[in-house]
Amino acid sequence: MIKVASYNMRKSIGTDRRRSPERTLQVLCEIDADVIALQEADRRFGTREAVLTTHLLAEHGDWKAIPLGVRARSMGWHGNALLVRRDAQILDSEAIHLPSLEPRGAVMADVRIRGQILRIVGMHLDLSGLWRRRQAHAIVAHLQASTHQYPTVLMGDLNEWSANSGCLHDFAQHFDFAQTGKSFHARRPMARLDRIMISRDLRIDDAGVHASLQSRNASDHLPVWATVRPA
């Protein structure tokens, strides 16, 4: 069984408007997942520097960032980043370019955790429903065109307010959704903007939203999580 999680960390700016990477890491330690997809993990301007530095990760957690080689000081691609346990083996990784009007992207990695190979995709989709659907189609097409096929987990902030239409309908043609719950706004959750999806050669044992005192203050999104295993 492998625990996965997704978290829009909002550049570590909390609902109290304070930036605190240490608080973000405390939330990640509370979740204690094997794989974590982060959104808004880099600063927005300039060199797009990572908010969670290598030093902070080493000091506060048991994870390493999956390298993408896109920007020297960034953790990810357009704010999307992936963390895995330090003993996980990274087999491959890449940034996925998405059609968009504003800077958007996704990241993908193949990792071996406790003998199980998983393909992980992290994403942060557009505010526009039309562009979200185009991005969903681009991600699915990218996965289908891959030479090697592995059990796959897709996670991220889909920005989709509907219950089962739009990009949710598009992803549901190929993947099953974890019943995680409402994750936005952190202080009073009203919407399931953050989602976890799995390919049909996996199954979900459990899933939920991580709501703690720290997570309600650390970002405007709550983290979502799921435990998965081979079907």
The model's pLDDT over 194-229, given as tens digits with 9 standing for 90+, comes to: 999 999 999 999 999 999 999 999 999 999 999 999
CB 121 within 8 A of CB 107: yes
The total number of structural domains in the chain stands at 1
Range of the domain at 185: 2-230
Cβ neighbours for 231, distance < 8 A, ≥ 6 positions apart:
200, 201, 202, 203
CB 66 within 8 A of CB 81: yes
Residue whose C-alpha is closest to residue 56's, from 93, 12, 14: 12
44: left (phi over 0), alpha (psi -120 to 50) or beta: alpha
Residue 27 has pLDDT above 80, yes or no: yes
The model's pLDDT over 71-108, given as tens digits with 9 standing for 90+, comes to: 657 788 899 999 999 999 999 999 999 998 788 889 99
Average pLDDT, the chain: 94
Give 111's strand partners: 90, 118
- The CATH code of the domain that includes 221 is 3.60.10.10
One-letter amino acid at 109 equals: A
pTM: 0.95
pLDDT tier at 25, thresholds 50, 70, 90: very high
Average pLDDT of the residues in 39-47 = 77
